[in-house]
Every structure is written in C-alpha cells, then in structure tokens.
Structure 1
C-alpha cells in the first residue's frame, strides 16, 4: 500500500554522513534562531550584560576623570585669590616690637581734649531718613555752572593757601564760601562766584603735560590710624586718598592729608549684590530705600568733613546698576560741585555713563591694584595700568590701605619718570577716560 506524500513546512535535513564534521547549515540556523516567543539564549543575555557594564564603566570613568580635572583646574586658577580673601577676612592685629632698651610710648588718651561740636562729627549714622530732605541742593542747583579746569587762587573771603608740602605743591585751604552749614554739618556747595569744590580743592597739575597719566586712589582710609599715617607720609603726594565716612576724627585726618599735598575724597558706601552678607555700614545707599532716605544718607556722608574733591564708590555692585536709585545721587553730587569716581565693583555698572550724561565730572577704575594682595600680583596690576595709559593716555587704579600695597606703590612710582609716564591726581583725569 502506497502512503501519500506529505510536504513538510520546513526544509528537510540531509542525513549526516560519517565523514561530515559539521551539521548542515540548516541545523546551525535552526540552532541559532529561537522560535517566536521563546526567550533569548543565555549566551545572548551574557553578551548584552557585558556591553552594558562596559558602557557604564566608561561613562563613570569619564565623569570621575572630568570632575577631577575640573576641580584641579579650579584650584590652580583660584587658589591664590581664595587664600588672599581668607587672609583678609581673618582678624589681624599688628603689634610693634620694641628694640632692646627702647621705652614704650606713654598712652596720652587721657590728655586729649574733646573736639568741639561739629568738628569732624561723631561716627554715627543717620536715622535712616526720619529727617526730611525737602529742597535738597536746590540753592546749589540754581548756581551750578558747567565744570571746568581746577581753579587757581582763593576766595574773596580770605582763605589762605596751606603750608607747602615736601614737593612744594600747595593745595587751597578750605573756603567758607564753598560750605553750607546744615544741622552742624559742613556740606560742600558751589560758591557765589561759580567756583566748585572739586576744582578748587584739586591738587594742581600741569595740564600741558602730554605724557600718559596714571592716577591712583587709595580707599578705606581713616579706620586704622597707623595705616592712614603710612599712606599720608609714605606715599607720593600725587596719590589721591579717599577716607571712610565712618572714620573717627575724619576732619583732622583729611586736613593732615591735604597739608601733605594729597588730594582727598570720601568713600560713598553703596549696596553690593550680596547685601547684607557684605554690609558697607549703616549709611549705605540701598535700592530698597526711598529717595528721601538715600539722600539723607548721602548728605550725612558729604557732611563728614570739608576740603575734599568728590566721592569714590565703596562696593556698590548692586546700587550702581539701578538707574532710578543712582541718578538722584549723581544729580546731587553735580549740584554741589563735586567729582564722582566709580570704583566699578561690577562690570555692569552704569554710573560712569550716567555721570557723563549730566556733565558730572567723573573718573572710573580700570584696575583694582591689590585684589590679590601679593607682591607679584600688585606689580602685574601696576604694569597693566601702565599699558592702559600708553594705549588710552589715561588710567585709574584703586588700592586698599595695606602695607604691601603702600610698599609696591612707592617703589613703582619711582620708576615712572624713566618710563615717560606721569603720576597724576585723580582730578587730572576727570572726563578724560574713554567710555566703554
């Protein structure tokens, strides 16, 4: 009986011969391809795990190496700055050591006389604006002319020139006709003859000198008696000195500096970005205060002592970026015949541009001389100021009251003559720097 032929749904396997070493290719294909729905072979799962493990290992290694490299790079770039900042924030006290056989100087505090009321004022801040500032600066505004070159001579009131300092350059004495007495404070104002305090009290400078000019302003003076005396007597007279409004006996200190031939300014505390963590003090101008409160605080600062040419911003990385808060302050400075120096605590400061827009005599900081208070860093900063002066004809640097800064400034100033650069008071570069 013949059976019917049946067609199989898969290829027929050839019989394996005795001398065949391998299976038929169909056998290999059948062995490698699992049926639908059947899980992958153990070998495939092992291979997949190995691939995933290798990828994860490589990724982790990249993250570790990259993170370590970034950390090392940050340390290399910022280590010096971080260490310098920690050094500055660490409380310090300098104690002089007596030589063998040297007797200590007796304490003469008990023999000092109390200054008269209104002389230098006590180092207290205003009450945050409880006193009204109505009519603030209106009289000066009516008399304000366009500013010009530093004036020569004295007023008709008979103010005499000060004693000549070591370099023979005399500064004008404080002129009563340039003062407004208000609440026992002596505020600067434009004189009846149109003379302005900034040009009257400026250190005389030869405007025909065509050499590149570099001006240095040392800020924060008056808080340490020793450092203040070092700045007054140890720095070249052409270096401008700016005093903290919180300094005790600020009036005599300013007069002492002027007698030594230094042009003087007053620090104007302004709100920094990280306020109140960084707090410039109780008289800080704040963007959160009203116009009246800020003008009251400004008036307190301006009334600390007479004889200065203008103000230098102290901090202010927030305040100098807000036009609504800043413009009334600049207008008041102009109405009182003062100069404005923008320390540019931030590159976003608009203070210099606003000052120029209202013809307020202005200068701005090109370089913080001792942002890193080390010998090499200060020397590099001073060399950078020289380069700016050669390229742009005028440059301004701001320095702090630090012994190492005084030493490097004094040494550097002695080299300028041979380099064809002149050290100038900051008033001599007013309105001469190029805007950004």
Structure 2
C-alpha cells in the first residue's frame, strides 16, 4: 500500500512538471518588469529632434555684429484663428509691423528646407541667429515639433503652401496641392489640411526649398487664389510671396532675392558679397530666401552674418516688412538688387 501511494504521488508531480514545461512563457514574461533598452553605441551620435523643453541646450550663437530689431516673443504674430487645433501653441497678439531701421539697410533671411534632415536642422537651429526665419514643408513628419522648437527660440516660421506651379509638367507639389483642376471645395480642403499642419506658424509661403515657382502662371497668380488668400488672412497668417511677379494682394511680405544653397562655397560667398549696399545699389531692404538646406549654406551664411560685411545691415525678422499687399510690387521693386533673380 505504501509503495502504491508513493508511485501515484510521483506520477502526479511528473505530469505537473510536463504541464509547466509546455507553457514556459505565460507567467514569467507577463509579470516581469521591462528593463530600459540602452541605445546602441552608434546611435549615441545621431542627432534627432528634441522636444521644446530641451531647446535651451541648443540656443543660437551670440551675434556680435548684428542686432535684431525688437526680437521678443511679443513681437511675433499670433496664430489664434478659427479651425486651429486646440493643441497649437498659444502665441501673443501681433504688434503692428516694426519700422525698418533707417541708419542701415534692413536684412531679413528665410532658410528653406528645414526638417528633411534631422542633423542639418539641428545645426541650423544652433548656428543661425534668431532673426533668421525658417521655411518648412507641410509634408515634414515632425512639423509640429519643429514649429514649437523654432518659436521657442524667437524665430518666425513660414510653412510652404503646396500649389500648382507655373510649370506643372516639371514640378510635383504632392498629394495636397491646390490647383491641378481642383474644385473650389477641394482647394479649400487642401488649404485646411495645410492650416492644420501649420498651427503655430507665422505664416504661409509659396516658396519651397527649390525657390519660387509661382511667377508667370502659377496657382497663386490666378483668380482662384483670391478666396484662399482671404481664408489665410482670417486665420491671422502672413503670406510670404516668392517674387513681385506673384502679385500678392494679402497681408504679408515679398522676397527680393533668392540664394541657391546647393552650390560651392566660393559661389555662396560671392553671392552674399553681392548683397552689400553701394552707391548704385542702395537696397533699403532685402528679404533673402536661402535654399535648399545644405551644410555649406548653413556654415557660410552663419559666418557671413557674424562677419564684418554684415555690419552694413541690421538683421530683422521677415515680419518687419509686413504690408497689406496693395503696394507690394512697387516696394519690392525698389528694394531689389538684381531684379529678384536667383543669385
């Protein structure tokens, strides 16, 4: 009897052990705390976008030769408009456009192509002075984070509004472009998509990292653009036109020069030097667009803005040149250095 009971107990233990072995992961992994995963050694040098709260670690370098004209958080336009997402940044009410300086020509710069490269974006945010505004495509994945980081540095931000270009057979503006045979309702829907993406920005622009492609027949020069411009104005957004030929009729400003960033260092330096005012080229105001974003463009623009040549200008944010669009063409033509042609 004793041996029979013993053999029965041993058999039960064996069956229990086989049942446990058949389900080894059920209890252990479910209740095990998850340990932090360390980044591989190679990832420690990768620069990735940081939340706005960390931007204090990458503030722009001090500018000793150029002073911004009233660059404060309260001088930046507010985007507090209908249909703006509740998560958008709360920005201050815009002041009237600051008067351009009279002792030296005013220079405003917009660096286009921000966001496509995390590394180049971080370098640009760290090296370029705060009055230099940023141009961002609405198709950039982390656009909301980029806008917040830029505004926390006191920068203005202009989001490209995708529109049918003057040469649609050569340029693809993406799936949310206005024009291309859209109905007015479809264009309004695409505009709303862009407005949602641009929450917190200073304004919209027809300029991309490849320059102005609206002159001489782009969507922005057509009658269909008029209701779009009205909607932008109702959202308190400025409109940055890439050329006087765009015929801007809404509140904003117009670029006077384009600097190709995808070139060699010597050409960049020569084109920057050509901006300097002279007796034959007084240039009371310059709104310079730079793109695409490249290492050489960031470095040489940064060096030039901190060098002796920049003493000839007062660096200001683009909104300094804000007008209602009624006399934009005359003002921009008076300020042009080279007929608004690409440098």
Question: TM-score, normalised to structure 1's length?
Answer: 0.52
Q: Is the 8 A contact 2:109 2:290 kept in 1?
A: yes
**CA displacement, residues 112-153 of structure 1 (integer Å, 9 cap, x when unaligned):** 9xx9xxxxxxxxxxxxxxxxxxxxxxxxxxxxxxxxxxxxxx
Aligned in 2, Cα 1:220/1:351: closer, same or farther, shift over 3 Å? farther
**Does 1:434 pair with 2:324?**
no
Aligned in 2, Cα 1:296/1:328: closer, same or farther, shift over 3 Å? same
For residue 179 of structure 2, the aligned residue among 281, 286, 291 is: 286
For residue 350 of structure 1, the aligned residue among 229, 242, 246 is: 246
Aligned in 2, Cα 1:177/1:351: closer, same or farther, shift over 3 Å? closer
Offset, 1:173 = 11
**Does 1:105 pair with 2:37?**
no
Unmatched segments (≥5 aa) in structure 1: 1-101, 116-161
**CA displacement, residues 268-305 of structure 1 (integer Å, 9 cap, x when unaligned):** 12212332431021111115222221121111111114
Match of 2:316 in 1: 424
- TM superposition outliers: structure 1 runs of 4+ over 6 Å: 173-177, 185-189
**Does 1:399 pair with 2:290?**
yes
The 1-side partners of 2:320 and 2:199 are apart by 20
Report the RMSD for the aligned CA atoms in angstroms: 4.0
For residue 226 of structure 2, the aligned residue among 313, 327, 337 is: 327
**Does 1:376 pair with 2:266?**
yes
Match of 1:38 in 2: none
Q: Is the 8 A contact 1:216 1:239 kept in 2?
A: yes
Structure 1 SS opposite 2:228: helix
Offset, 1:256 = 1.0
Aligned in 2, Cα 1:361/1:390: closer, same or farther, shift over 3 Å? farther
The 2-side partners of 1:277 and 1:298 are apart by 22
Larger Cα Rg: Structure 1 or Structure 2? 1
The 2-side partners of 1:180 and 1:163 are apart by 31
Offset, 1:187 = 8.0
The 2-side partners of 1:312 and 1:378 are apart by 24
Structure 2 SS opposite 1:324: coil
Match of 1:308 in 2: 201
The 2-side partners of 1:259 and 1:362 are apart by 22
The 1-side partners of 2:221 and 2:167 are apart by 15
Offset, 1:350 = 3.2
The 2-side partners of 1:208 and 1:275 are apart by 40
The 2-side partners of 1:211 and 1:325 are apart by 39
Question: TM-score, normalised to structure 2's length?
Answer: 0.65
**Does 1:178 pair with 2:116?**
no
Match of 1:387 in 2: 277
Aligned in 2, Cα 1:331/1:435: closer, same or farther, shift over 3 Å? same
Offset, 1:393 = 1.0
The 1-side partners of 2:87 and 2:229 are apart by 19
**CA displacement, residues 340-377 of structure 1 (integer Å, 9 cap, x when unaligned):** 11113xx7x3333xx2xxxx322222221116622232
